[in-house]
Structure 1
Amino acid sequence: MTEQNATDRPAVVAKDGGRGARTRQRRVSMADVAQLAGVSSQTVSRVSNGDAAVVETTRKRVLDAMKELGYRPNSAARALKRGDFRAIGVITMGLTSTGNVRTLDAVAGSASRAGYAVTLIPLDAPTQENVKGAFTRLDELAVDAVVLIMEVHLLDTAALTLPPHVKVVVVDSDATDFPVVDTDQRQGARAAVRHLLGLGHDTVWHIAGPEESFAAGRRAEAWEEALRAEGRAVPPVLRGDWTPGSGYEAGLRLADEAGCTAVFVANDQMALGLLRAFHDRGVRVPGDVSVVGFDDIPEAASFIPPLTTVHQDFAQVGEWCVDAVLRELAGETVTGVRLVPTTLVERHSTASPAARGRES
């Protein structure tokens, strides 16, 4: 095609049923831009797609014409043509847990910095059927990859049908068919137990998260392993559901355990409930019982007392998820589990045990 001479403005209005006094505006087309800029439609397309081979003066003329006419390239059509949507889908088990929300925020921020949009698919209930349904919807969504925040045992890859172009990265899972990014849950739990034993406590009690949770399971396993490695007694596990209310109920039970001088709680929200229960029952923290949480939520430093806890680097989790996605999209084979290290943050909820236990 040859360049066109543009002497007239493109028509962007059309007569409405022969009524000369009424007009309706139509969508500006690529041909309109080409006519105003005096170039071919193919040249307009090349400018829209960022073709570096277009002469700079021609590019400027096309961009000026786009601006004047209010033309917006059809990004969806261009993405379909080149098979690159610049979008990442995120499937999450829900937006009620601190870990899921902060992981989602980290993934979204990292994706945005990489020039990708995020499409969120929250699951109403953690069932295998809902997981399958979420993946089925991917056939209708313009995404290049999926980050699956999977904290429960529901990923049956044999039952899933994925669009062939979609890459998958999983957070907090034991998946073997996809790359996994996770916080080093075991490292954090071991650090919590060792900190408390190092202060002189004979053993450490544990309030675990839900049985179906991967993170809760790994933290509980590491807690027990750390105690056995030191030859310490392993108290019975108390179990909560990540909420302050469940931590409060566990705290009421532990307040009656005279031998309990140290507690490792599987998340900070349950630790908050535990602290309130101890306060209500007259148990001093850390004078009578030392408490360590997990997550290091922003409010942890404002608890009474400020909470010693295991810090999870959610920003790093998000960056590594997006990094794995981009490497897969670039054609690299990404496998295995990548663990983000944790850090124990010491505040004022832990101390050496009292010589004679709790004061009356």
Structure 2
Amino acid sequence: MSEEATRGRAPSIRDVARLAGVSHQTVSRVLNHHPSIRPATKQRVLDVMAELQYTPNRAARALSTSRSRTIGILSSATTQYGPASAIAAIDAAARNAGYWVSTASIESPDSDSISAALAHLAAQGVEGLVVIAPQARVFRTLARMRIEVPYVALQTSGDPDRAISVDQIEGARLATRHLIELGHRHIYHLAGPQDWMEAEARMRGFLDEMGAHDVPMTAPILGDWSAAFGYHAGRELLTVRDFTAVFASNDQMALGVMHAAREAGLDIPRDLSIVGFDDIPDAAHFWPPLTTVRQDFAELGRRCVAVLLGDLDPNLEGVAATISPELIVRSSTSFPAF
């Protein structure tokens, strides 16, 4: 590390340039991913930056380039696994592309809360926006607003040109088809909250697949995503054992059903098969390990950023597409006992 850097002063772009043997304009081009920089020169500059632990000044770069290189995320329900995983994936993909991420949470789906969050992001000069709002009413509010930057939505928001998502309907059909192909004909569905678009899509997939196989249907049970709800719903259902399988709309509710089944002295999967949705990191360590539907959040983040960068940079082509989910078969499902 240079002598100046050891004196307590944060290293500057000129320190990097001097040690790399280039001009400060060249360092700036490296920071802004300019295509004219030779790979060897770029690597030498990056090595010096790492040695000096140099961090570019975002505000100064925004002033000098008229670009903030920041993507905004407008999000609600950030404590749930899906939205939280999507935010992390977008952040990783944006950083790989040389962008920063700024997140604003929506306290409620009303226009005042959304306007305040958008104003917060606009004040930071975001160049593009990702909307992660599972509730349909958020998009109804957004539709009445004017958004000044390119944006995409991580749910099926009604505008296919702005939406990129994992195919929730297909994921639910995969889970339901798996149970039907094992021989189950008495299947309950624990759905998510009524106002969540993903819960609605998963419920539709379940009903579509049951109908396609002419399997008798019972009304889905609306839940709240929590293991506690799954547990209490499971206890109620098990007072009358007229079913052999449960498809839960997320892994946490599936865990709650497992708890209720174990408490009732049932063996999983001999007496009851259970399928979840999401493939949270803990799902492989439930007992027994949970059969579930995996969503590729890393790919979701990559495609989301690619779509935005296609809008931000005319030299890049956006890739908008629905991502296919994957059924992960583990030990919580088997042939029905009756």
TM-score w.r.t. structure 1 length?
A: 0.77
SS in 1 for 2:84: helix
In the alignment, does 2:300 pair up with 1:321?
no
Q: Contact 1:48/1:73 (CA < 8 Å) preserved in 2?
A: no
Give the superposition deviation at 1:83.
3.0
Q: Contact 2:71/2:101 (CA < 8 Å) preserved in 1?
A: yes
Deviations 1:179-231 (A, max 9, x none): 21111111111111111011111132100000111110000001001111111
Indicate the residue corresponding to 2:202 in structure 1. Answer: 219
Q: Contact 1:209/1:242 (CA < 8 Å) preserved in 2?
A: yes
Within 5 A, what are the aligned runs for 1:1-360? 46-47=25-26, 49-50=28-29, 75-153=58-136, 154-155=138-139, 156-163=141-148, 166-176=149-159, 179-331=162-314, 338-355=321-338
Change (3 A) 1:283 1:236: farther
Indicate the residue corresponding to 2:45 in structure 1. Answer: none
Change (3 A) 1:84 1:279: same
Identity of aligned residues (%): 34
What amino acid is aligned across from residue 267 of structure 1 in structure 2? N
SS in 1 for 2:321: strand
Q: Which moved more, 1:148-157 or 1:293-302?
A: 148-157
Rg larger for: 1
In 2: Cα distance, 1:264 partner to 1:151 partner: 20
Give the total of aligned pairs. 312
What amino acid is aligned across from residue 283 of structure 1 in structure 2? L
In 2: Cα distance, 1:172 partner to 1:273 partner: 26
Q: Contact 1:150/1:173 (CA < 8 Å) preserved in 2?
A: no
Q: Contact 1:102/1:314 (CA < 8 Å) preserved in 2?
A: yes
- Point out the structure with the larger strand share: 1
In 1: Cα distance, 2:259 partner to 2:201 partner: 26
Residue segments in structure 1 that go unaligned for 5+ positions in a row: 1-25, 38-42, 55-70, 356-360
Q: Contact 1:152/1:173 (CA < 8 Å) preserved in 2?
A: no
Give the superposition deviation at 1:321.
0.6
Give the superposition deviation at 1:49.
3.5
Deviations 1:96-126 (A, max 9, x none): 1010111111111111111111111122334
Q: Contact 1:207/1:238 (CA < 8 Å) preserved in 2?
A: yes
Indicate the residue corresponding to 1:358 in structure 2. Answer: none
Indicate the residue corresponding to 1:19 in structure 2. Answer: none
In 1: Cα distance, 2:335 partner to 2:279 partner: 22
SS in 1 for 2:277: strand
Indicate the residue corresponding to 2:42 in structure 1. Answer: none
CA RMSD of aligned residues (A): 3.5
In 1: Cα distance, 2:11 partner to 2:175 partner: 63
Indicate the residue corresponding to 1:61 in structure 2. Answer: none
SS in 2 for 1:103: helix
Q: Contact 1:135/1:160 (CA < 8 Å) preserved in 2?
A: no
In 1: Cα distance, 2:208 partner to 2:10 partner: 67
Indicate the residue corresponding to 2:6 in structure 1. Answer: none
Give the superposition deviation at 1:236.
1.6
Q: Contact 2:307/2:320 (CA < 8 Å) preserved in 1?
A: no
Give the superposition deviation at 1:174.
1.7
In 2: Cα distance, 1:72 partner to 1:275 partner: 49
In 1: Cα distance, 2:195 partner to 2:302 partner: 26
TM-score w.r.t. structure 2 length?
A: 0.81
In 2: Cα distance, 1:244 partner to 1:324 partner: 35
Change (3 A) 1:220 1:326: same
Q: Contact 2:303/2:319 (CA < 8 Å) preserved in 1?
A: no
What amino acid is aligned across from residue 185 of structure 1 in structure 2? Q
What amino acid is aligned across from residue 286 of structure 2 in structure 1? F
What amino acid is aligned across from residue 159 of structure 1 in structure 2? R
